[in-house]
Every structure is written in C-alpha cells, then in structure tokens.
Amino acid sequence: MTAEHHNNGEESKQERLTESWREVGDQIQGLVSRIADVFRVAWSEERGPEERTEDETRRFEDDLRSSAERMERVFKRVASETEEERAKAMKSTRKASDQTLSEMRVVAARGLRALNEQLDDLAKTLERERAAREQHQSENGNSDEPHV
C-alpha cells in the first residue's frame, strides 16, 4: 500500500466520521427545533392540558419517541463507524505506555547500577582511608588505647 493510497483511505475515514458527526448535529438540531415548536404552540394556546385533544397528545408523544429512536440510531451508527478508530487509539495508547514503561525500566536499571558503582567506590575509598589511618597509627606507635 502506498503512502498516497493510505492517506486517501485515512481522508475517506475522516470524511465519513465528519459526516456522521454532522448528521448527529443535524438530528439534534431537528429534535431541538421540533421540541421548541411544540412548546411554542402549546404555550401560545390558551387551552389547558385538559382541553388538548387526545390525538394532539398522542402525536406529540409519537414525535418525541420517533426523534429519540432516530437519535439512538445515529449514535449507534457513529459508534460502529468509529469503532476501528477507537480501537486504533487504544492500541496506540497501550503501545506508547508499554514503550514508556520499558524505557523507564532501562533508565531506572542504569541509575541503580550507577548508584551501586558509586556506593562500591565510596566503600572502597572509606576502606582505604581506614587502612591508611591504621597504618599511620601503627607506624607512629599511636593507638586508640589510653596510655597508663
């Protein structure tokens, strides 16, 4: 697969995704407009709820139910059409976190080895200094024991 073909495929997926979200926006806008219209009509009517006909109430409920079902279909479509992208994003995230963790292990191991070497060097230096002090004391006849 060439880079150009791959890019065209990615652009096509992006266009489908954009179109799906545009459709979601259109559906939401339609639903909000319909609800606003229904409330506007209901508000402007001076009749109370008891005076509203059963057919009007049923039509309103049917419209709301139909809008909710359309929205559900749109969301399901968006979810199914973005499933591949979401899976890729999860895979990339997992891969990046695994790589970061692996790199952190290497750096931590190096750091611990360097610390261990420094501690060894410090211990050897202290040992040499103690040995030199003891040798200096024995050559001078000094000891830590009090003279009586």
100-129 pLDDT, tens digit each: 888 899 899 999 999 999 999 999 999 999
C-alpha 30/C-alpha 9 separation (Å) is 31
Beta-carbon contacts of residue 17 (< 8 Å; ≥ 6 apart): 81, 82, 85
User: Which amino acid is present at 128?
Assistant: R
Q: With a cut of 60, say whether residue 56 has pLDDT above it.
A: yes
Per-residue model confidence (pLDDT) at position 48? 57
Average pLDDT over residues 65-86: 81
- Other C-beta atoms lying within 10 Å of the C-beta of residue 98: 10
126-137 pLDDT, tens digit each: 999 999 999 999
12-25 pLDDT, tens digit each: 767 776 777 777 77
Closest C-alpha among 24, 32, 12 to residue 75:
24
Q: In the structure encoding, which two tokens stand for residue 14, read together?
A: 């992006």
- Domain range list for the chain: 1-84, 96-140
